Amino acid sequence: MAGKPKLYYFKGRGKMESIRWLLAAAGVEFEEEFLETREQYEKLLQGGSLLFQQVPMVEIDGMKMVQTRAILSYIAAKYNLYGKDLKERALIDMYVGGTDDLMGFILMFPFLSAEDKEKQRAVIVQKATSRYFPAYEKVLKDHGQDFLVGNNFSWADVHLFEAILMVEEKKSDVLSGFPQLQAFKARISSIPTIKKFLEPGSQRKPVPDDKYVETVRRVLRMYYDIKAN
């Protein structure tokens, strides 16, 4: 019997958080090794574990997988969260891609200066409420189903739910004009595996703090400032 997937990343969200979310949604237990020193990172590099010299890296089913999208696709397919046919997979990919674009505005937020954070916060809310949330609101309204694709819980739902929570951390009432998304959020949060991941003590990571930022900068030797979008 294969062991639990093992995740190699920092003790924080970053690109690994969506992988944690998807595994949790599938009800899969996983282990984590947190990178805290440059030496740990270099050991992975020297051991050939990081094909493109980047994390996240996930050990699963005898593979050492890198590239976040490839890891997520594999997990979604393995645990039946990737639709029932090619058309549904295409829709899931499309919706996940849109959500990724929104998440991209949030991912580097912790690394910005205080001034740039305020600018970026406005950008995030504007993009969410004028481009991305209206699209998902329309999808849900038009087909009248509980989930984004095929009326079955999928990777697309997990990804959108994660993004909604991320944007709500920037503006708590951001869904006020989106009744379909409000109902969607309530439905997804009641799914047992999701509910469990939302509880205190789970492997879900908190909002990135200064310690997380300092660790990432030190391990990856990021000596430059990130600029707002």
Q: Which of 158, 96, 108, 169 is nearest to 132 (CA)?
A: 96
Outline where 26-152 has alpha helix (H): 38-46, 68-78, 86-107, 114-127, 133-143
What 3-state class would DSSP assign to 81?
coil
pLDDT for the residue numbered 223: 64
Is-contact 164 181, C-beta < 8 A? yes
* Stated pTM of the model: 0.95
Query: How does pLDDT run along the chain (229 residues), one tens digit per residue?
Result: 468 999 999 999 999 999 999 999 999 999 999 999 999 999 999 999 999 999 999 999 999 999 999 999 999 999 999 999 999 999 999 999 999 999 999 999 999 998 999 999 999 999 999 999 999 999 999 999 999 999 999 999 999 999 999 999 999 999 999 999 999 999 999 999 999 999 999 999 999 999 999 999 999 987 655 555 5
Residues 191 and 186: their CA atoms lie apart, in Å, by 9
What is the total residue count of the chain?
229
Q: Domains in the chain, start-ordered, CATH in brackets?
A: 6-79+198-220 (3.40.30.10), 86-190 (1.20.1050.10)
Is-contact 205 12, C-beta < 8 A? yes
